[in-house]
A and B are shown apart, each in its own frame.
Chain A
Amino acid sequence: VDVRRSAGEPGRVAESGASAGAGRRRVGTRIGCGLIVFAAAVMLGLSVRNGMENTAGELNPGARKAWATFDRQEECIYHAIRSEVPEGATVYIDDAVVYDAQRLAELSTSWAVPQPSPATARWTLSLVPGRACSGRSLEVRHR
């Protein structure tokens, strides 16, 4: 602000001061906006990069092969249940591995009727080591 040139005009001094203040505020706002954009862009960018790396990690040939094997195994067990157990049969899942027991219950659904106890079941199902379904085989016992 040129104070000397406007010394005799108080109105102009106030006006210049106000415009200088507004200018400073504008610069401050621009810096603030820049900081907001920078912080948000960095956080979003880091998360995007993390997601890309995560996806790429799951798409490596080893991981894809493992999931394809698991998928084939599921499909094989699903069809084995339908071919070895009559439709509507009451079954008891007797598998010590919790996940395998849950998978057998899931894959029996809408074909056989899983029972909470062996007393009410006519058939017993479990997964054992074998070659039939990618390293596992369905074991079916009639009670």
Chain B
Amino acid sequence: VSRALLVVIAGLGLPGILPALAVARRGPALVFLAPLMGAVMAAVAAELELGVGLSLLTWYVVVAMTANVAVVAWWLAAGRSRPQAGPPWAWSILTVVVVLGGLIVPLTGLRAGIIGYDGNAIWLTHTLMVSGGHHELLTGLRSAAYTFSNPDYPPLVPAAGALAFALVGRGDLRVAIEVTALLNACALGVVGAGVAAVAGRGRPLSRLAALVAAAAVCIVGFSVTGIYYAVGGYADLLWSAAAVGAVVWGLVLPRSTQALGIAWICAAVASVTKNEGLTTALVVLVLIAFRYRPPAPSWLRRSREQPASRGLQGVAVWPAVRSWAERAGFVVGPALPGLAWAGLARVIGLNDAFFTSSSTESPASRAGATIHGMAPYLAVAPVALAVLVAGCYFVRRDRRRARLANPAWLWAVCLLYLAIIFATYVLGSPEIQWWLHTSVARTTIFPQLLLYTDLAIWLVIASGSGAAETAGERPEAVPVGVRTDA
């Protein structure tokens, strides 16, 4: 584990620290975000290795240097005029310690030495391909001998593993599995830091509850995944936790450039980790775009129009075009690494294995089996729904005072994801019972973790209920360029 830790800290964390610092500032999320940022850069390097040539390490150095130089240039150009506010150091350190404590407990599972089925058949295979260089990667992914490994799966996990091989050698293949497990922990750490941030500058009881809830959510992430999938080299917890991180920072916490940046990085991680991660990241990013750039109601648009410009269609249309272009940028920008991989995979002829032919089973029977298969994994949903109703009734004002978003955003993501997964199972080609048996425990990690996180958020709000009524607890100033929440 020590070598994997070295790879995550030195190989991924150090190159990712400046870009992560630019986004998270001195917030506790920084510690967990830096290795994820490094992993995204490694994934981009793998895309360049496949699409252009050369080796992963060459491209990783180029991508990391470009990103770091860009951040330094941005700091020099605009950094001094921007507010660099962040939470107090003591609070940040305490949060990091507590969240790390929550993560270390389940990570002891690494001592079991598990290598899961997909950890072998998919992720280690792809890792060895990425590690072998451009020719090996291209011919390997295109070879019919490797169809079993789902060649169109995105490159973050193989890239991080191949980077580990480049840094510590191929003497022990387990190092790649352990790096994946540590990245899972980092993604959960970002979620935990988000839960801790819900308390903001609330009273001590609320902040204590937030810390406990943050640590609990980290352990719950491993718990709903199961230790076999969480530390056995599977990528499902990584994309799920990253997507939940994107929801918490982008669709729950108060709007700010910092929260938006963290949400975007999380979405980028999800988009280059698994195909369903890309789909989910796109859903989350669209909703974030609408939260940060809400469309003005038609009556407001009309009242804003100047009488003089009413007849000029071009003048009236331009703000709307700009507004939609901005929203499109909010979605395409962070998802670009994932979209680039999807495009590259299609160009070189890699297709999704789950929609190759039509199923002989009727959609109704597949739908019934899917509902039956998914239900046991969503046992938390009724309680989460009850807490949502109670929360909206009893602590709605506290939530609004804390400038947290409407819970409808989080639930919309959850329901949309469930609808997409349901449709995938119903319309896909594999035999449904086998498909559910081999995957439903993993495809339901995201909604489970999301609902448990929602419970944790309501817990923090309810434990600090009434705190914001005290004097001196006004909403924070909103950073430049970001509108306040409604």
Q: Judge: A and B partners, yes or no.
A: yes
> A113 to chain B: which residues have CB within 8 Å?
139, 143
Does A75 touch B at the CB level, under 8 Å? Answer: yes
Task: Please state if A114 and B146 are interface contacts (CB–CB under 8 Å).
Answer: yes
B: number of interface residues (CB 8 Å): 62
Cβ-closest chain A residue relative to B127: A109
CB 8 Å contact bits of A109-135 with B (1 = contact, 0 = none): 110011110000000000000000000
- Point out the residue from B106, B125, B129 that lies within 8 Å of A55, measured CB to CB: B106
Does A39 touch B at the CB level, under 8 Å? Answer: yes
> B136 to chain A: which residues have CB within 8 Å?
109-110
- Point out the residue from B132, B144, B223, B383 that lies within 8 Å of A51, measured CB to CB: B223
- Point out the residue from A34, A48, A59, A74 that lies within 8 Å of B109, measured CB to CB: A59
Which DSSP category, helix, strand, loop or mixed, fits chain B's interface? helix
- Point out the residue from A54, A103, A109, A110 that lies within 8 Å of B227, measured CB to CB: A54
Task: Please state if A74 and B115 are interface contacts (CB–CB under 8 Å).
Answer: yes
> A57 to chain B: which residues have CB within 8 Å?
227
Does B249 touch A at the CB level, under 8 Å? Answer: no
> B330 to chain A: which residues have CB within 8 Å?
none
> B384 to chain A: which residues have CB within 8 Å?
43
Cβ-closest chain A residue relative to B457: A40
Task: Please state if A40 and B387 are interface contacts (CB–CB under 8 Å).
Answer: yes
> A68 to chain B: which residues have CB within 8 Å?
113
Give chain A nearest CB distance to B203 CB in angstroms. Answer: 13
Does B286 touch A at the CB level, under 8 Å? Answer: no
User: A interface, how many residues as a size bin?
Assistant: 35 or more
Task: Please state if B223 and A54 are interface contacts (CB–CB under 8 Å).
Answer: yes
Does B391 touch A at the CB level, under 8 Å? Answer: yes
> B67 to chain A: which residues have CB within 8 Å?
none
Q: Which of B131, B139, B394 has the most CB of A within 10 A?
A: B394
Does B459 touch A at the CB level, under 8 Å? Answer: yes
Task: Please state if A102 and B121 are interface contacts (CB–CB under 8 Å).
Answer: yes
- Point out the residue from A36, A44, A103 that lies within 8 Å of B217, measured CB to CB: A44
Docked complex: A19-66 residues within 8 A CB-CB of B: 28-30, 32-37, 39-41, 43-45, 47-48, 50-52, 54-55, 57-59, 63-64
In the complex, A98 Cα to B391 Cα: how many Å? 50
> B393 to chain A: which residues have CB within 8 Å?
32
In the complex, A58 Cα to B222 Cα: how many Å? 13
> B394 to chain A: which residues have CB within 8 Å?
28-29, 32-33, 36
Task: Please state if B108 and A59 are interface contacts (CB–CB under 8 Å).
Answer: yes
In the complex, A33 Cα to B466 Cα: how many Å? 10
Docked complex: A69-93 residues within 8 A CB-CB of B: 70-71, 74-75, 78, 93
> B146 to chain A: which residues have CB within 8 Å?
105, 114
Docked complex: B212-226 residues within 8 A CB-CB of A: 213, 216-217, 219-220, 222-224, 226
In the complex, A50 Cα to B225 Cα: how many Å? 11
Known: A33-B395, A51-B222, A75-B172. A44 touches B216 (CB 8 A): yes
Task: Please state if B173 and A43 are interface contacts (CB–CB under 8 Å).
Answer: no
> A52 to chain B: which residues have CB within 8 Å?
105, 219, 223
Known: A105-B125, A106-B125. A37 touches B459 (CB 8 A): yes
B binding-site residues for A, Cβ under 8 Å: 105-106, 108-109, 111-115, 117, 120-121, 124-125, 128-129, 131-132, 136, 139-140, 143-149, 172-174, 209, 213, 216-217, 219-220, 222-224, 226-228, 380, 383-384, 386-387, 390-391, 393-395, 452, 455-456, 458-459, 462-463, 465-466
Q: Which 7 A-B pairs have the closest CB atoms?
A: A51-B223, A32-B394, A110-B132, A116-B144, A40-B459, A114-B145, A109-B128
9 other A-B residue contacts (CB within 8 Å) besides A59-B111, A105-B145: A33-B395, A34-B462, A40-B213, A48-B219, A51-B227, A55-B108, A102-B149, A103-B120, A114-B143
